[in-house]
Homo-oligomer: A and B are copies of this chain.
Amino acid sequence: MKCLTDTTEERIKEAAKTVFLEKGFDGTTTRDIASAAGINSALMNYYFRSKEKLFQSIFNDVCTLLFKGMLELINQPISLRDKISKLMDHQFQMMMQNPNLTIFIMNELRLNPERLYGTIGMAKQVPESIFHQQIEDAIAQGIITPIDSHHILTMIIANIQFLFVSKPMTMLAQGLDEAGFNAFATRHMEYVKDMICEYLFKPEPVT
């Protein structure tokens, strides 16, 4: 699964990422990580000084994973309609591959808000992007309903992300298996794309 560049440090980080994402910080023991990485538990403290330090490293990585692609898309010079569609597609793809990513991050932030300081950089870039200007221009030209870009982004993110945050609940409530959930999620995304675009791009706001 991995190339020959497998250094021990990387192997520990991979194992730690897997275990942390599955069990959360509090639910993970250093011995869990060590055995998942196939190493002695003291080695973890040799490379990273503590469980907390290792976690910070992992947490940074997964936050970057969550934000990086989105930030790139947000700053691309493409049409609004296209951008919104691509933003949702991108999130969807990412969450299909890593369904626990968002709930893991949001929950760890809730449990330990100091971790926010590591994400300030990325978080602040989102609202200060080309996207924001693009929205304001479109509003000025009467192309879309007047609405702050923060609200639009929240709509885009919430409608995709919550699907995965509530995945176990949804599967239970509807009696779905993995395949069934994927089908539901795929269809839902189409609905949501339509809904958001129709809301934004309608000819005249109701006022």
List residues of chain A with CB under 8 Å of any chain B CB: 23-24, 26-27, 100, 103, 106-107, 109-111, 113, 116, 119-120, 123-124, 126-127, 147, 150-151, 154-155, 157-159, 161-163, 165-166, 168-170, 172-175, 184, 187-188, 191-192, 194-196, 198-199, 202, 206
Cβ–Cβ contact B172 & A116, under 8 A: yes
The one of B111, B165, B191 that contacts A106, using a Cβ cutoff of 8 Å: B165
Distance in Å: Cβ of A112 to nearest Cβ of chain B? 9
Cβ–Cβ contact B106 & A169, under 8 A: yes
Cβ–Cβ contact B103 & A107, under 8 A: yes
A120 CB contacts on chain B under 8 angstroms: 172
Distance in Å: Cβ of A68 to nearest Cβ of chain B? 15
State A173–B148 Cα separation when bound (angstroms).
14
Cβ–Cβ contact A188 & B103, under 8 A: no
Known contacts A107-B107, A157-B166, A198-B206; can you find 4 more A-B pairs with CB under 8 A?
Answer: A120-B172, A150-B174, A157-B162, A158-B159
State A169–B24 Cα separation when bound (angstroms).
18
Cβ–Cβ contact A195 & B188, under 8 A: no
Cβ–Cβ contact B103 & A151, under 8 A: no
State A157–B158 Cα separation when bound (angstroms).
10
Name the residue on B nearest A154 (C-beta).
B188
Cβ–Cβ contact B158 & A163, under 8 A: yes
State A15–B47 Cα separation when bound (angstroms).
39
Cβ–Cβ contact A195 & B199, under 8 A: yes
State A157–B111 Cα separation when bound (angstroms).
23
A157 CB contacts on chain B under 8 angstroms: 162, 166
A124 CB contacts on chain B under 8 angstroms: 172-173, 175
The one of B100, B155, B173 that contacts A126, using a Cβ cutoff of 8 Å: B173
